[in-house]
């Protein structure tokens, strides 16, 4: 027996799908370029908006607004939506759909290059090709909450525990800036055109670093260096990347670091432990210069 709920879900999915198809046809948009994969499943769109816990006081940033199917839902609940879109054809669609809406501002441009106005929350189906760069641009802004769509494998790397194959530089950098959790997995069939991989929605809550870091720039460089040699023990990873860390007397410094850290790989150390090693190197480096 088919439930009323399943019938309604099918109806709303079909309604959004038909809307997307009609817009794409009207503006002769093929999709697939500029990471254009339009979310057409009404259920996932509504769950993303619900996860953002929007209030009438919130200003929301949306990156990669596309044809506005998420924009429209955000605008119903937020004080203002700032929609950023790179593709000129999609910018035209957004203007046609929303120029009459008083609480939607459209910014045409590359999200990596434009200056973001102040915002309270960021809710986006991100262009996957710029996932890392745009995430860390965002994390250098002050905001309350992010609800962001990524490729599933990328999302898993953001939240992976130490010792797992997905634990990476991305994990450490994310942990330094924010608490991250996977809210939902989104199948490729929820998009049109369908991407080649599944996606996931991450909730990001920015907060102060949960561990002490002497120098943020050096810490992030250190993490990048040792994870570029992730299969080597930390001692060799540091020695092999001395040019990246700009430490000429690296052998002398490494000889003073704790053996229990030096004999482990970066992928087996917690973010706190990596910060501790980076702090020791930074202090020793500062004394020598």
> What is the distance between the terminal CA atoms of the chain, rounded to a whole angstrom?
76
**CA dist 285 to 100, 245, 289, Å?**
58, 10, 7
**Mean pLDDT computed over 51-76:** 97
Q: Is the pLDDT of residue 140 over 70?
A: yes
List of residues 6+ apart from 94 with CB closer than 8 A: 65, 67, 68, 71, 83, 85, 106
Inter-residue contact 224 to 266 (CB < 8 Å):
no
The ranges assigned to domains in the chain are 4-206, 216-288
State the pLDDT at residue 79: 98
Domain 4-206 architecture: 3-Layer(aba) Sandwich (3.40)
Residues 7-40 as b/e (b if ≥16 CB within 10 A, e otherwise) read: eeeeeebeebbebbeebbeeeebebeeebbbbbb
Q: Is the pLDDT of residue 112 over 60?
A: yes
Q: What is the tens place of the pLDDT at every residue in 225-283?
A: 999 998 899 999 999 998 888 887 889 999 999 999 999 999 999 999 999 999 999 99
**Mean pLDDT computed over 75-95:** 96
Maximum C-alpha span of the chain = 76
Q: What is the tens place of the pLDDT at every residue in 145-202?
A: 999 999 999 999 999 999 999 999 999 999 999 999 999 999 999 998 889 999 999 9
Nearest to 38 by CA among 72, 2, 82, 5: 72
State the pLDDT at residue 4: 45
Identify the band that residue 13 occupies on the pLDDT scale cut at 50, 70 and 90. low
**Mean pLDDT computed over 23-37:** 69
Inter-residue contact 176 to 152 (CB < 8 Å):
no
Inter-residue contact 69 to 16 (CB < 8 Å):
yes
Q: Could you tell me which CATH class the domain 216-288 is placed in?
A: mainly alpha
CA distance 57 to 52: 13
Count of Cβ atoms closer than 10 Å to residue 235 Cβ: 17
Residues 183-221 as b/e (b if ≥16 CB within 10 A, e otherwise) read: beebeeebbbeebeebbbbbbbebeeeebebeeeebbbb
Least confidently predicted of 59-63, 110-114, 178-182, 192-196: 192-196
Least confidently predicted of 4-8, 73-77, 175-179, 269-273: 4-8
Identify the band that residue 5 occupies on the pLDDT scale cut at 50, 70 and 90. low
State the pLDDT at residue 246: 85
CA distance 224 to 260: 21
Return the C-alpha torsion angle 60, 63, 64, 68, nearest 10. 0
Count of Cβ atoms closer than 10 Å to residue 1 Cβ: 3
State the pLDDT at residue 16: 61
Given the DSSP bridges, would you call strands 59-63 and 121-125 parallel, antiparallel or unpaired?
parallel
State the pLDDT at residue 8: 45
**CA dist 273 to 41, 166, 196, 207, 268, Å?**
42, 18, 37, 19, 10
Given the DSSP bridges, would you call strands 80-85 and 145-151 parallel, antiparallel or unpaired?
unpaired
Phi, psi for residue 230 in degrees, rounded to 5: -65, -25
Q: Is the pLDDT of residue 33 over 60?
A: no
């Amino acid at each position: 027996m088919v439930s009323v709920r399943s019938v309604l879900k099918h109806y709303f999915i079909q309604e959004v799908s038909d809307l997307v198809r009609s817009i794409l046809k009207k503006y002769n948009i093929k999709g697939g370029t500029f990471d254009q994969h339009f979310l057409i499943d009404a259920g996932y769109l509504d769950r993303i908006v619900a996860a953002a816990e929007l209030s009438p006081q919130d200003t929301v940033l949306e990156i990669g607004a596309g044809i506005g199917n998420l924009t429209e839902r955000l605008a119903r609940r937020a004080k203002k939506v700032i929609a950023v879109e790179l593709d000129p054809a999609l910018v035209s669609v957004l203007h046609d759909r929303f120029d009459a809406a008083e609480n939607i501002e459209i910014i045409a441009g590359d999200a990596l290059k434009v200056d973001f106005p102040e915002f309270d929350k960021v809710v986006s189906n991100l262009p996957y090709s710029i996932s890392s760069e745009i995430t860390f641009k965002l994390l250098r802004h002050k905001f309350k909450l992010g609800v962001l769509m990524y490729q599933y494998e990328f999302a898993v790397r953001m939240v992976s525990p130490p010792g797992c194959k997905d634990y990476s530089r991305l994990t450490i950098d994310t942990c330094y800036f924010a608490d991250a959790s996977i809210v939902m997995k989104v199948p490729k069939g929820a998009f049109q055109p369908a991407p080649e991989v599944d996606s996931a929605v991450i909730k990001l809550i920015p907060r102060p670093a949960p561990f002490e870091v002497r120098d943020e720039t050096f810490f992030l460089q250190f993490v990048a260096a040792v994870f570029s040699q992730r299969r080597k023990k930390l001692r060799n990873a540091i020695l092999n990347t001395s040019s990246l860390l700009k430490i000429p007397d690296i052998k002398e410094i490494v000889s003073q670091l704790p053996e229990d850290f030096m004999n482990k790989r970066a992928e087996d150390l917690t973010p706190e432990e990596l910060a501790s090693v980076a702090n020791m190197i930074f202090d020793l480096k500062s004394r020598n210069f």
